[in-house]
Amino acid sequence: MPETVTSRRTDERTSFFTFVKNHTMDLLAYAGLAVMLILFLIFNSGPRLMYNFSAVVQAAAVYSILALGAVFIYSMGFMDVSLGQQVGVYVILMILIGNKIGGPAGVVVGFLVTLALALACGAINGAVSIFLGLPSIVTSLFLMFFFTGAQYLLMESTGENTIKLLQTVKPADRNTYTLMLIGIIALLAVIGTYFFNYTKLGKYTRAIGANKVAAKQSGISLVKWQVLGYMALGFCAAVASFVLLTRTGTAGKGTGSGYAMDIMICLILGGMPLKGGMKSKISCALVGAFTYTLLSNVLTTMGVPLNWVNFVKACIFLVIVLLTCRKPNGVLPR
């Protein structure tokens, strides 16, 4: 078919520009990360560079893990506002169960119970909204209220402002800990990439985000994959809770608060389209989580005054989204 061949050839010439055009968002997200990294290196050059590097890894670990899970539901165009409170309750439960049973076994049991709970919540989050015909944000709103209450009640029942896990879970050596975190992030990134790019889970969640009806008519069970997507997030939430616990060893009433919004900001900075669909990428999670952490770190190390930090962050956020999310043509985006 000579006709087809010619058209392919002509388009190959323009494919470089097409590539740049189609990947503007990703390229800019990476550029943002690169700039942050450069600023980080400039302001942290000195004896504490290694320390600061590990501090960034620590701070970014929880964000990365949660964001990796969140990609699965954001790719369907959903969001979960209950994430922070879920993490809070999971950490508290891990401590309570861990202390009750005692020893490393207690921690393991605590983690497993939490994992089961997280997966169950994911399933509820995904299934309820479909069965009851609710927007997914409503179920997550419900879970947010529920978990906020649960966190309050759990902490009240302990009678303490903060509770501590008796078993040490954090390696004593800083470098070991950093390596452990990098290991966990890398492992989850590999698992996440595998599931998002090479299995039905990722393909179907993206398809659901891009066009629910078309996905259904292509034989995708909305209930099943929505539930599995949320369960993937649940899994990550449990792991993230554990990582958070290794970091602090304690938990309180406000543990985890704000993560839902932070994760959303991370993903936006990573170039994730909030409406989901085929442009969703797993890399958004890592790029966004590290950009966000570095931004916060760089602002403090640069010595930006406390009351100006939020302002500068807001401006940078606006600049980044203006560069990445701008829709130049057509009607105003909604």
Partner 1 sequence: MEKEPIIEVRHMVKNFGPTRALRDVDVSFYRGEIRGLIGENGSGKSTITSIVAGMQKPTSGEMFYKGEPWNPASMVDAQLHGISMVLQEANTIPNCTVAENIFAGRFNEFAKMNSFLSMKKVNKAAQEILDSFGLSHIKATDSINKYGFEDRKLIEIVRCVSDETEVFVVDETTTALSLEGRQLLYKLIHKLKDNGKSVIFISHDMDEILEQCTDLTVLRDGEIIGHLNREEMDAPGAEKKIRFMMVGREIGDAYYREDYDSSHLPEVALKLDHISFGPIKDFSLELHKGEIIGFGGLSGCGMHEIGRAAFGLEKLSEGKVVREGKEIKSCLDAIESGIGYISKNRDTEALILEGSIGENIVLPSVNALSKGTFVSPKAEKKLADGEIDNFRIKCYSGKQWVNTLSGGNKQKVSFSKWTAKKSDVLIMDCPTRGVDIGVKQFMYHVIAEMKQQGKSIILISEELGELIGMADKILIMKDFEVTHEFMRDPKLSETDIIEYMI
Partner 2 sequence: MKSTKKVLALVLTLALVFALAAPTAMAKARTTKIGVGLYQDSGAAVTAVKAYLGSLEDALNVKFTYTVLSNTDEAQNITKVQELIAAGCDGIICTMDMGTEAILQECADAGVYLAGYLCDYDTSFRNNYDNVFKNEFFLGTVADGGCADEARRGYDFFDSVIEYNERTPDAPIRHVAMTVFPAFAFPYQQSFAAQFVEKVEEYNAANPDKAIEVDPLSDETDILMFRPMDSTYFSKHPGIDAIVSICSGSFVYPTMVSAGVSNTMKLFAAGYNDGDEAVFGSKGAYQMEIVSPVEAITYPLVLLLNKINGVEFPDQPAEAERRGVSVLVINSDEDLAKFQHSIYLSFKPEDAFLSPEDVVALTAYNNPDATYAGLVEILNHMTIDDIQ
Partner 3 sequence: MKLTKKIFLTLLFPVLMFLAMWAITAANPACYVNGKFIFLGFDLVRFVVLNACQSICVALAIWMQLKNGRFDFSNGAAMILTAIIAGNIGLRSGSPWITLIVAVLCGIVLCAFTAAVYMLGRLPIVIATIGVTLLYESLTYLIFGGGGISNFYQNDTLSIFGHLPGVFLPTLLAMGIFLFYSNYTVTGRKGKILANNQAAGVNIGIWEEANVSQTAMFCGAIVGLAATIYVSQNQVLPQSGLSTAGIMFSYIVPVYMGMFIGLASNDVIGISIAAIGMAIFNYGLNCMNLGGGGWQQIIMGVFVMCFYTFSAQLDNIKKVFRRMTKKEAVA
User: What are the residues binding partner 2 (CB under 8 A)?
Assistant: 20-21, 24, 27-28, 31-32, 35, 39, 42-44, 46, 48, 51-52, 55, 58-59, 62, 152, 155-156, 158-162, 164, 170, 174, 244, 247-258, 296-297, 300-307, 312, 316, 319-320, 323
Dist CA 283 CA 267 (whole Å): 9
Tell me: does residue 72 bind partner 1 (CB under 8 A).
no
Compute CA 253 distance to the chain's CA centroid, rounded to the nearest angstrom: 22
Residues in the chain, total: 334
Q: How many CA atoms lie within 13 A of 250 on its CB side?
A: 9
How many Cβ atoms sit within 10 Å of the Cβ of residue 95? Answer: 27
Footprint on this chain of partner 3 (rule: CB under 8 A): 132-134, 138-139, 141-146, 148-153, 156, 258, 261-262, 264-265, 268, 274-275, 307-308, 310-315, 317-318, 321-322, 325-328, 330-334
Choose among partner 3, partner 1, partner 2, none what residue 278 binds, the Cβ cut-off being 5 to 8 Å by kind: partner 1
Task: Find the part of the chain contacting partner 1 (CB under 8 A) among 71-79, 231-239, 248-256, 276-284.
Answer: 276-284
Task: Tell me whether residue 26 or residue 212 sits nearer to partner 2 (CB atom).
Answer: 26
How many Cβ atoms sit within 10 Å of the Cβ of residue 67? Answer: 33
Tell me: does residue 217 bind partner 1 (CB under 8 A).
yes
Residue 252: what are its φ and ψ, rounded to 5°?
Answer: -145, -170
| Residue the block writes with tokens 């369907």 | 76
179 closest CA partner among 283, 53, 28: 53
Tell me: does residue 227 bind partner 1 (CB under 8 A).
no
67 closest CA partner among 225, 255, 318, 293: 293
Choose among partner 1, partner 3, partner 2, none what residue 27 binds, the Cβ cut-off being 5 to 8 Å by kind: partner 2
The amino acid at residue 291 is T
Task: Tell me whether residue 138 or residue 302 sits nearer to partner 2 (CB atom).
Answer: 302
CA angle in degrees (0–180, nearest 5) for 254-258-264: 160
Choose among partner 3, partner 1, partner 2, none what residue 168 binds, the Cβ cut-off being 5 to 8 Å by kind: none
Give SS3 for 133.
Answer: coil
Which residues contact partner 1 by CB under 8 A? 1, 3-4, 7-8, 10-12, 14-15, 18, 21, 195, 197-201, 203-204, 206-207, 210-211, 213-221, 277-279
